[in-house]
Structure 1
Amino acid sequence: MIESFWFPVRLSLVVAMIATIGTFVLAVFLSYQFNKKAFPGKTVVETLFVLPLVLPPSVLGFLLLIVFGMNSPIGRGIENVFGQSIMFTQFAAVLAAAVVAFPLMYQSAKAGFSSIDLDIEAAARVDGASEWMVFTKINIPLAWRSLMTGVILSFTRALGEFGATLMFAGNIPGKTQTISTAIYVALESGDTELAWKYVFISIALSFLFLIVINRVNRN
């Protein structure tokens, strides 16, 4: 009983962590590149990046089903390679969480890189620094507060993801059930005491991470 109670909590933390790592790498790379370059359609592409932030979770879940479902070329390709579909798996939960968390990480990283004085980068290049050194030794350290804020916001958003996860990963106890879906099932079954326990854990975790954001921004 104890094991089954804590499984959604552990899975939610693991899913949020993996999704955050993935979105961090992708968002930092894209935001850095887009901050340096201008090209036709850039505004449209960036709008697509942040679109999951405003779309209903049910729409995101539906799109994930269409893109990675059994009837799509991507879905069939994945099944041919790995022998099974990613739908209703823990990887599906990670993918759903990453999709909804990505806009927060991208916007934070973009704000951080945009705030850096270009003269500092130019001076480093004059002194012989490579683009990789400029990125790792100047841009990352100077934008670290924005990046940390993005990481925490992305993590908490991924931790609380519900709609897209329910549609794409399902709610399989002991396999894909997260805190959010566990709360939903508990309420549906009339077990408000169990729902309150998960609600309290979710609030406590989110509160803790938001405190970290405040401390980062204050220092």
Structure 2
Amino acid sequence: EQRPDESQDLTASFARLLAELDNGAAIPRVTDVAGRAFPVQGHRWLGMGRAERSALRSLLYALRGRQVPVWLPTHAADLEPVATVTAVATTLDVANVGYTRFGQAKPGRCDIRLELWDGTAFHRRITGSTELSADVERLAIDSPLGVQVEPAEVLRISWLTLCRLDSDSLEIHHETDSEGVANCALVFRGVRDDEF
């Protein structure tokens, strides 16, 4: 898993699938085909040396332009843990962000990536949630983490979204020779994940 270059802020927005019908005589009719907004995320990679460049090229070849979707984290601290998670627990207590009230089981808000300071990452699906208090929500996850995790060990908990590249063409800028720096900027667009 390659992390994006965060020397600049990562971009994120939402876009809708709109169809416009305009006969030229009246107000155009605009229809939201999907009935929801899809995330659009910008990511930059900065690679040093042949091994990192090879890994990036392998990822790009595997994505085949816009053809293959991939689960992409927001790489933001979207949720904040407030209690220890035991090795066998299937719940996660987080600071209340209104998930139970507004986001429960919404597309794009069912999967999370829990990243620890040591680089370990866990990917889990949220199966339910309850509001314990005005400050704490309890999220039920599909399987235990297998290790005990303290809140101080968590770097961030990010939403995972099923995305594809927004374009079939891309560029890798090689700043120096094959052992030096190369960078690549990509835009990912969310796709439907209802059936997953």
TM-score, structure 2 as length reference: 0.28
Relative contact order (C-alpha < 8 Å, sep 6+): which is higher? 1
More helix by share: 1
After TM superposition, the score normalised by the length of structure 1 is: 0.26
